[in-house]
């Protein structure tokens, strides 16, 4: 995709421009690419394309050029051509992303069909085809089983889970449950009958205690003599059915936001935790706005940059939405188009553990930041210990928590934020530098100031309101 985007940028975008139009493009790019006057005179279209592709990776370089060319007179056809080429690339990679999913579904369907066929082939023959000799033997065994519980139930004092809960057994109850009460041979004594009955009852009831101790469902009702007139109730034979309806816990709850890289075409269903207000992050040539958000799945959480403020109405806390055709970069999911976000049914609820939500909203300790890799992007709320204005465009804050202190360098538009010592700073998308170890604002950084609460009521000085004598 990188190569195709660069091809669109150079051959479909810059190549058709005349000298005046190309000069306009270079002038509009001087702040983004750091072009000096000499560079704007000497650099060719190929060199500018290389710089743009390096600065704005993937489809972003095409989007950047479109924003520049749409306002230049006489380039309507060029803009239309670029949009068509971009649409082809996006469609191509979206299709490629979905193909493996379809293939897996087909393979799964084939596996299910083959398994069903094998099961049918392995079924036993009908009882009507069994020889008389085998019927006689079976009848004899059934009679002997009447005098004592089957070996499956009395072995080791526990029920046979395989026999009792296998899906094949749900279609009809075990034969022992339909038999008449146990009869005693003419040769047995009344004393032996009483002993056998007591032993059978004891062995039947023993699994109830052991299963109950393990937190498993009680089988008392299934084994009581009164229930032998009808088969015990069994759960539906659906895949994955279980006696326990309790939601399984996650084996490990992530403490850091999950990362994805590159264009992601497969849909991801997420629940919104929080979102900032839209803010202007670039006002050099035209005002551009964005907002930050945090979303979760049932097992992960993500940081999101949304570059279309019209989507703010969809990023409402606790709402479940679907993300697709977004770009993973530097630990964030970047959303550019309205079509990348879609609503889910209003009845859709997502079960998310409180521990996962807590980790998604947590502020990393300063001591932990000292061991993170340089270039990591940090979000959190910290107390301001000191403030120093270095010049008109740079402000230095010293933040602290119970594990240490760290400097925060704020540049450009964020220096106008009204923050003083004692306030709390909510920092979003601040980059961690290596040497010296500090947090620095970048183009997409966001700051929110939390002022300390004032005293409930201050006593008024009555002398201030006394009238002076005439």
Residue with tokens 């309205």: 338
The predicted structure's pLDDT at residue 142:
53
pLDDT in tens, 346-390: 888 899 999 999 999 999 999 999 889 999 999 999 999 999 998
Q: How confident is the model at residue 141 (pLDDT cuts 50, 70, 90)?
A: low
- Tell me the mean pLDDT in the region 296-312: 95
CATH fold of 262-360 reads OB fold (Dihydrolipoamide Acetyltransferase, E2P) (2.40.50)
Non-local (6+) Cβ contacts of 424 within 8 A are: 381, 382, 383, 384, 449, 450, 451, 452
Q: What is the pLDDT of residue 285?
A: 67
The more confidently predicted of residues 358 and 171 is 358
User: At the topology level of CATH, where does 363-450 sit?
Assistant: OB fold (Dihydrolipoamide Acetyltransferase, E2P) (2.40.50)
Task: Report the SS3 class of residue 248.
Answer: coil
Cα–Cα distance measured from residue 184 to residue 193, given in angstroms and rounded to the nearest whole number: 6
| 176 has pLDDT over 50 | no
Give the DSSP H or E segment for 157.
none
- Residue 252 confidence class, pLDDT cut points 50, 70, 90: confident
Is the confidence at residue 256, as pLDDT, over 80? yes
CATH 1.10.533.10 in the chain, residue ranges: 2-90
d(CA 439, CA 412): 15
**Mean pLDDT of the residues in the chain:** 74
The 10 Å CB-count burial string (b at 16+, else e) for 5-20 is bbebbbebbbebbeee
Q: What does residue 424 show for φ and ψ, rounded to 5 degrees?
A: -115, 130
Instruction: Collapse the DSSP code of 281 into the 3-class scheme (helix H, G, I; strand E, B; otherwise coil) and give the result.
Output: strand
> Residue 76 pLDDT more than 70?
yes
The segment with the largest mean pLDDT, out of 69-78, 164-173, 216-225, 233-242, is: 69-78
Q: Which is higher by pLDDT, 226 or 266?
A: 266
Which residues of the chain form CATH 2.40.50.140? 262-360, 363-450
Q: What is the mean pLDDT of residues 291-315?
A: 96
Which pLDDT value is given to residue 95?
Answer: 52
pTM over 0.85: no
Question: Who's near 429: CB < 8 A, 6+ residues apart?
Answer: 292, 303, 305, 332, 377, 379, 442, 444, 445, 446
Give the model's pLDDT for residue 120.
Answer: 45
As a whole number of angstroms, the distance between CA 332 and CA 236 comes to 43
Mean pLDDT of 59-72: 86
Q: Are 301 and 253 in contact (CB under 8 A)?
A: no
Q: Does the domain spanning 2-90 belong to CATH 1.10.533.10?
A: yes
Nearest to 281 by CA among 32, 20, 30: 32
Burial of 468 (0-12, 13-18, 19+ CB in 10 A): exposed
Return the higher-pLDDT residue of 211 and 90: 90
Among the residue ranges 8-12, 277-281, 294-298, 449-453, the one predicted with the least confidence is 8-12
* CA distance linking residue 30 with residue 285, whole number of Å: 11
What is the average pLDDT across 284-307?
A: 92
For 197-233, how does the pLDDT look when each residue is reduced to its tens digit (9 = 90+)?
555 555 455 444 333 344 444 444 444 444 444 555 5
């Amino acid at each position: 995709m990188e190569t195709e985007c660069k091809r669109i940028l150079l051959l479909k975008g810059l190549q058709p421009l005349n000298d005046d139009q190309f000069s306009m493009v270079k002038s509009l790019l001087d702040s983004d690419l750091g072009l000096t006057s000499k560079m704007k005179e000497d650099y060719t279209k190929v060199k500018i394309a290389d710089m743009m592709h390096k600065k704005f990776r993937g489809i972003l370089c095409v989007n950047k050029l479109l924003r520049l060319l749409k306002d230049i007179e006489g380039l309507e056809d060029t803009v239309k051509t670029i949009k068509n080429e971009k649409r082809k690339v996006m469609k191509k990679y979206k299709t490629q992303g979905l193909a493996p999913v379809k293939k897996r579904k087909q393979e799964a369907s084939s596996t299910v069909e083959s398994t069903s066929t094998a099961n049918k082939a392995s079924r036993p023959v009908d009882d009507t085809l069994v020889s008389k000799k085998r019927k006689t033997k079976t009848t004899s065994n059934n009679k002997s089983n009447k005098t004592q519980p089957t070996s499956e139930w009395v072995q080791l004092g526990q029920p046979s889970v395989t026999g009792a809960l296998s899906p094949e057994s749900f279609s009809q109850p075990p034969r022992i449950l339909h038999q008449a009460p146990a009869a005693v041979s003419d040769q047995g004594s009344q004393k032996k009958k009483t002993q056998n009955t007591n032993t059978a009852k004891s062995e039947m009831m023993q699994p109830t205690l052991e299963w109950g101790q393990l937190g498993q469902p009680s089988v008392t009702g299934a084994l009581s003599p009164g229930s032998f007139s009808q088969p015990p109730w069994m759960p539906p034979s659906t895949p994955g059915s279980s006696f326990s309806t309790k939601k399984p816990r996650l084996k490990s709850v992530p403490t850091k936001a999950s990362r994805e890289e590159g264009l992601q075409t497969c849909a991801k269903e997420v629940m919104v935790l929080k979102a900032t207000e839209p803010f202007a992050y670039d006002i050099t040539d035209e005002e551009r706005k964005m907002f930050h958000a945090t979303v979760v799945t049932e097992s992960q959480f993500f940081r999101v940059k949304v570059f279309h403020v019209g989507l703010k109405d969809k990023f409402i806390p606790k709402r479940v939405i679907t993300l697709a055709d977004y770009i993973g970069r530097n630990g964030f999911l970047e959303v550019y188009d309205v079509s990348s976000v879609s609503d889910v049914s209003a009845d859709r609820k997502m079960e998310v553990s409180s521990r996962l939500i807590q980790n998604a909203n947590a502020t990393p300790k300063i001591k932990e930041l000292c061991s993170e890799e340089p270039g990591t992007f940090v979000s959190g709320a910290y107390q301001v210990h000191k403030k120093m204005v270095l010049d008109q465009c740079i402000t230095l804050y010293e933040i602290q928590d119970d594990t240490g202190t760290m400097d925060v360098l704020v540049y450009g538009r964020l220096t106008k934020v009204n923050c003083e010592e004692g306030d709390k700073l909510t920092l979003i998308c601040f980059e961690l530098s290596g040497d010296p170890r500090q947090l620095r604002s970048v183009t997409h950084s966001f700051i929110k100031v939390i002022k300390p609460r004032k005293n409930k009521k201050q006593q008024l000085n009555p002398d201030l309101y006394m009238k002076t004598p005439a």
